[in-house]
């Protein structure tokens, strides 16, 4: 069993009525934390560490310069692509634009045809056999126009 060292402080006081009071306080001794000794570097060790750090820095700078060179080449190629695209759009891009517009127009016409077919099919499926006015989505009943009911969700 380990004995614990404590420091005792005894205080005696005398009150106004003449009574004596004794107070005993126990204190653990203050522990002193010793700092480990820092080993100082020798001049030789310091020089070797500096040389290693310098070599590592040179290696990192070499890699960075190689990467910057590759980045510069890629940017040059990208600029060439943009220049060629600008030249093509300025000189001969008009025929392609007309062809593209014709294709878009034909797609719009096909979309209108499909939409009309879907509207007719929807009307038949829901039991509405009412004729529709050309170009209008409002069914006619007895010569009067009435709105279509909202679709249910």
**46 vs 123, more confident:** 46
Query: pTM of the prediction?
Result: 0.35
- pLDDT averaged over the chain? 79
Q: Do 136 and 147 touch, CB atoms closer than 8 A?
A: no
pLDDT of residue 2: 56
Output the six-digit token pair for 4: 């614990």
Tell me: the pLDDT tens digits for 96-150?
A: 677 888 899 999 999 999 999 888 888 888 875 555 545 555 555 555 566 777 7
> 109-133: buried (b, 16+ CB within 10 Å) or exposed (e) per residue?
eeeeeeeeeeeeeebeeeeeeeebe
pLDDT of residue 6: 67
């Amino acid at each position: 069993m380990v004995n614990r060292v404590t420091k005792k402080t005894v205080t005696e006081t005398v009150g106004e009525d003449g009574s004596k009071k004794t107070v005993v306080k126990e204190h653990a001794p203050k522990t002193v934390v010793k700092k480990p000794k820092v080993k100082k570097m020798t001049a030789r060790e310091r020089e070797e560490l500096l040389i290693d750090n310098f070599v590592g820095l040179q290696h990192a700078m070499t890699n960075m310069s190689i990467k910057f060179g590759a980045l510069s080449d890629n940017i040059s190629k990208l600029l060439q692509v943009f220049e060629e695209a600008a030249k093509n759009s300025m000189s001969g891009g008009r025929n392609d634009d007309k062809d593209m517009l014709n294709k878009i127009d034909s797609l719009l016409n096909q979309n209108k045809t499909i939409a009309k077919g879907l509207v007719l099919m929807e009307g038949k499926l829901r039991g509405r056999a009412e004729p529709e006015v050309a170009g209008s989505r409002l069914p006619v009943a007895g010569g009067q126009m009435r709105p279509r009911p909202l679709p249910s969700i």
